[in-house]
Amino acid sequence: MSTLTSPLRPKRSKLLTGAMVLYLIYTLVPLLWLLLSATKTQDDLLSTPGLWFGKSFAFFSNIKDTLTYNDGIFLRWLGNTVLYVVVGAGGATLLATAAGYGLAKYKFAGRRAVFAVLLGAVAVPGTALAVPTFLMFSNLGLTNTVWAIIIPSLVSPFGLYLMWVYATDAVPHELLEAARIDGAGEVRTFFTVALRLLAPGIVTTLLFAVVSTWNNYFLPLIMLSKPNLYPLTVGLTQWSNQATGVGARPIYNLVITGSLLTIVPLVIAFLLLQRFWQSGLSAGSVK
Amino acid sequence: MKVHRRGIRRLVVAGAAVIALAAVAACGGGSSNDSASGGATTGSSDAVDAALKAGGEITYWSWTPSAEAQVKAFMAQYPNVKVNYVNAGTGNDHYTKLQNAIKAGSGAPDVAQIEYQALPQFALPGSLADLNQYGFSQYESAYTASTWAAVHAGSGLYGLPQDSGPMALFYNKEVFDKYGIAVPKTWDEYVAAAKKLHAANPKAYITNDSGDAGFTTSMIWQAGGQPFKTDGKNISINLADDGSKKWTGTWNNLVEGGLVSQIPGWTDEWFKALGDGTIATLPTGAWMPGVMESSVKAGAGKWRVAPMPTYDGQPATAENGGSTESVLKQSKNPALAAAFVRWLNHDEGVKPFLASGGFPATTADLKDSAFVDKASAYFGGQKINQVLTAAAGNVVKGWSYLPYELYANSIYGDTVGKAYQSKSDLNAGLKSWQDALVTYGNQQGFQVNP
């Protein structure tokens, strides 16, 4: 029985290892395809096999073309995405942290109601709210502005839930009382004591928020009609759709290279923040 | 309940649009009547000329490849007019944004590109300005009969045609020669060619068709079918009429026999298959050469163009694709917007459009010998425009699209598309498409097949 083996020297299962290897291949092949395809010209993409190099190595000219096509609009989209991520996901994390901490550590009337609303909000997918949000923003005159993306991104029910749960366990009441007795105000306690203890949870929330804002597609698709406000997701789709119908101008090589450039920052963020991510996910699991 | 509420909302929206237009007309000391409230009325183009002289600023949404060049040329000619060009997306993305802005009551452009198949959907609820008020009906003789019909909905004129797509048969001569296949003149010969080709080379197919609403409707059109008829709020849908049956009678042979490739159009796989001989023919619109020249380089020298096969050997074809530019009711300066549309699709704007590889809707250009007799290197020196311009004169009359064609196209895959997937009777697929369209139309406040 596997429960009898020591956790320090886990028994190796050939079957599980094999399954894992298969899964690894399954997840890596699309990435490999993306990498290889980014080295091909538009003609090679259509005339050479997908999982090997084409006749010419066009990686660098593809990158150059991607960055300069349509007067360099790709860089503009990249800048927009960064703006939406920094302000939107950063703001969402800050709000979720403060609110989660407050809900976890202060007793006040209506907490249960907030909890119920929160659970409801987690259950409703953002996509379902996109059109009502659009009509609301349209009445406010905010469509076609960066605020149409940033303001909805600031709201992260899941992040709030995560921080609430995390703060409940990670910040001991005794510590807060000690800080109060030493004369620290509530705000100071939050920033100097609680925030440090909450760090792993904050990083987890931040990662979730960054990924969802970086990949946000439907909301900007309907909110924005000016291409120079688009984030990368909507911009690349527009390039991709250019291959359709009367007057089609396919630029698959640029779409692919653009996609590769788009995922690079996310990959880096994950590699750098991985350990926080892991510790955040397992937080509170052994209690 | 739901039906009523939706119907009422529609009326409210249409009513609001009418009021808005009336207000605009009043402001301009308008001499024109609003045709949406009554029958067609014709005005004069004085208001348009005056607006062009006065200048101003308008916004233009389009995904036409030449749009940017056209806007630049227009502003160079009329420096007092500023046109904000926006590519808001291709096809459905563009329509979603347009529909949202119309619903929201603000944010729509002054001028927008709208495909012929989508025109009734925007025109009938009153979202577009009727250009009869500016006397644009005088330009009728400048356009082919089929495109002129396509920019009308009811008695209203909702744009000027930008391009046309009379269908022709594009075929890979190299493949035809290799397997000794003659260019089919009738659909029976086409089916025979499909069998011969696929038997000789199991990897090659006569064409690809994984189920495409635009193609299906065009093919029914060519067969003389008129499945969609709209009169005010009354719609009749009959996807089992003689024309529809005629088409399925032929096409069932190909679909049920597995003789058409399932590669979906406009994918990388499709562009590849056009270049390497996997797909031997394309019955499609006359705008295709521009696309092939720029994006199917591997097919250079191999392809040729022939008239569409027909059922009886007599020339007949349909339109596939093509767009108009329309003036939105929301526009604060509709006269200036109309002036821009006139310049784009009637005056100097046509040239940059043709230079980018577009196929004209203007009869003068279709007759211009420099255009007609131009030999195409891509098509092995063939004077392809002779075939294509002849097709423009052979379009079957009397076709119209549904006032919710975009929705119809979006559910095509769940209905007719299933027949394609299971290689079964297309008539059954068309039946389920029709049922879904009748239900939806009634929900939207129309009276469908009462």
pLDDT mean over B205-213: 96
> Mean pLDDT over all residues of chain B?
90
Alpha carbons B195 and B260: distance in angstroms, whole number: 10
Query: How does DSSP classify residue A128?
Result: H
- pLDDT above 90 coverage of chain B, percent: 84
Nearest to A244 among B90, B107, B358 (CB): B90
Q: Where are the domains of chain A?
A: 48-281
Instruction: Work out whether the CA dihedral B148, B152, B157, B162 comes out positive or negative.
Output: negative
Could A131 and B321 be called an inter-chain contact, meaning their C-beta atoms sit closer than 8 Å?
no
User: Which pLDDT does position B220 carry in this prediction?
Assistant: 98
What ipTM was assigned to the predicted interfaces of this complex? Answer: 0.77
Which among A69, A70, A225 is the top mutation candidate for probing chain B, defined by the most B β-carbons within 10 Å of its own β-carbon?
A225
Nearest to A246 among B96, B101, B287 (CB): B287
Three-class HEC string of B320-366: CCCEEEEEECCCCCHHHHHHHHHHHHCCCCHHHHHHCCCCCCEHHHH
The CATH class of B2-164+323-361 is alpha beta
pLDDT mean over B326-351: 96
For residue B64, the one-letter residue type is T
> Mean pLDDT over all residues of chain A?
88
The CATH class of B167-318+375-448 is alpha beta
Could B356 and A246 be called an inter-chain contact, meaning their C-beta atoms sit closer than 8 Å?
no
pLDDT mean over B188-204: 97
Residues 44 through 83 of chain A touching chain B, CB cutoff 8 Å? 45-47
Nearest to A138 among B86, B107, B275 (CB): B107
User: Which pLDDT does position A248 carry in this prediction?
Assistant: 86
Q: b/e for A196-207, b at 16 or more Cβ within 10 A?
A: ebbebbbbbbbb
Is the confidence at residue B32, as pLDDT, over 60?
Answer: no
Alpha carbons A214 and A261: distance in angstroms, whole number: 13
Could A247 and B290 be called an inter-chain contact, meaning their C-beta atoms sit closer than 8 Å?
yes
pLDDT tens string A39-74 = 999 888 887 888 888 888 999 999 999 999 988 999
The CATH class of A48-281 is mainly alpha
Nearest to B272 among A47, A225, A241 (CB): A47
Give B323's contacts in chain A (Cβ within 8 Å): 246
Q: Where are the domains of chain B?
A: 2-164+323-361, 167-318+375-448
pLDDT tens string B269-319 = 999 999 999 999 999 999 999 999 989 999 999 999 999 999 999 999 999
pLDDT mean over B24-48: 50
Is the confidence at residue B428, as pLDDT, over 80?
Answer: yes
pLDDT tens string B359-385 = 999 999 999 999 999 999 999 999 999
Torsion angle defined by CA atoms of residues A24, A30, A32 and A34, in that order, rounded to the nearest 10 degrees:
-160
pLDDT tens string A105-139 = 998 899 989 989 998 988 888 778 888 898 899 89
The minimum CA-CA distance between A124 and chain B, rounded to whole Å, is 22
Q: Which of A123-132, A147-156, B53-62, B433-442 has the lowest mean pLDDT?
A: A123-132
The minimum CA-CA distance between A202 and chain B, rounded to whole Å, is 36
CB A221 within 8 A of CB A228: no
Could A134 and B297 be called an inter-chain contact, meaning their C-beta atoms sit closer than 8 Å?
no
Is the confidence at residue B1, as pLDDT, over 50?
Answer: no
